[in-house]
């Protein structure tokens, strides 16, 4: 790739990201019903026609935004997923997920608006989730193979052990309750113990 081509690609990526962040901000502040290509163009500081060079319509923009946020989350919580014991890895991911989820960021505030739309829950999205969060699935699979984690499907293990981190984070983000550090640490430990199979000591 020559220097001119690299610069062009960088500019294209930068504009696309600018449009995504503008859409994210609009949805976070006004809900998904307030999203329009005209508003996105104004917020991003680009011509309305420019958006259609990157996204074919509003539904495509929302779909790509969801994929972008999934990538952000995976990057934030799985950076050092391979370090430590199974328990240490689980608890580190749990805490990172909680800390990420409690932030009142545009990504978090907008995600709830479109995550459950039928058009953003496709085979493509599910495949992307599997790819991005593969280290978490691998952690569960390692535990299952070792016999140290309850014999449930990885998705069920996630629902039992990981979703509470986001549920508590969401309640804090919405100002419904303020958990202290001891509450969060205990909740993380309880979630681990809910799926962990203690080793039976041998005589």
Domain boundaries, the chain: 1-55, 62-203
Per the listing, tokens 């990885």 go with 154
Write out residues in the chain with pLDDT < 50, as ranges: 3-11
Q: What pLDDT shows up at residue 118?
A: 64
On the question of a common fold for 1-55 and 62-203, the answer reads no
Q: Quick check: 53 and 9 in contact, CB under 8 A?
A: no
Q: Quick check: 20 and 65 in contact, CB under 8 A?
A: yes
Q: According to DSSP H, which parts of 52-118 are helical?
A: 58-77, 86-101, 106-114
Q: What backbone torsions phi and psi does residue 196 show, to the nearest 5 degrees?
A: -80, 140
CATH for 62-203 (1.10.3210.10, 3.40.980.10, 3.40.50.300, 1.10.357.10): 1.10.357.10
Overall size of the chain counted in residues = 203
pTM equals 0.81
| Integer Cα distance of 40 and 35 in angstroms | 7
Q: What pLDDT shows up at residue 110?
A: 77
| Integer Cα distance of 1 and 97 in angstroms | 37
CATH for 1-55 (1.10.10.60, 2.60.40.1080, 3.40.50.300, 2.60.40.180): 1.10.10.60
Q: What pLDDT shows up at residue 139?
A: 95
Q: HSE, CB side, 13 Å, CA atoms: give it for residue 119.
A: 11
| Integer Cα distance of 118 and 6 in angstroms | 36
For 56, 149, 195, the CA distances from 76, given in Å and listed in that order, are 29, 25, 24
Specify the DSSP class assigned to residue 200. Answer: P
Q: Which of 162, 170, 150, 159 is nearest to 81 (CA)?
A: 162
């Amino acid at each position: 790739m020559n220097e001119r081509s690299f610069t062009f690609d960088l500019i294209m990526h930068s504009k696309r990201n600018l449009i995504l962040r503008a859409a994210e901000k609009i949805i976070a502040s006004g809900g998904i019903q307030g999203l329009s290509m005209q508003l996105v163009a104004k917020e991003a500081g680009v011509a309305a026609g420019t958006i259609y060079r990157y996204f074919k319509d509003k539904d495509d923009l929302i779909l790509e935004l969801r994929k972008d946020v999934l990538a952000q989350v995976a990057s934030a919580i799985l950076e050092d997923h391979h370090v430590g014991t199974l328990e240490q890895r689980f608890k580190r991911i749990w805490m990172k997920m909680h800390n990420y989820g409690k932030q009142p960021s545009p990504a978090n505030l907008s995600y709830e608006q479109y995550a459950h739309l039928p058009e953003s829950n496709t085979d493509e999205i599910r495949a992307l989730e599997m790819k991005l969060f593969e280290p978490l699935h691998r952690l569960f699979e390692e535990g299952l193979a070792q016999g140290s984690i309850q014999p449930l499907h990885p998705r069920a293990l996630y629902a039992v052990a990981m979703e509470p981190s986001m549920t508590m984070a969401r309640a804090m983000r919405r100002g419904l309750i303020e958990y202290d550090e001891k509450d969060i640490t205990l909740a993380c430990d309880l979630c681990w113990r809910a799926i962990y199979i203690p080793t039976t000591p041998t005589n």
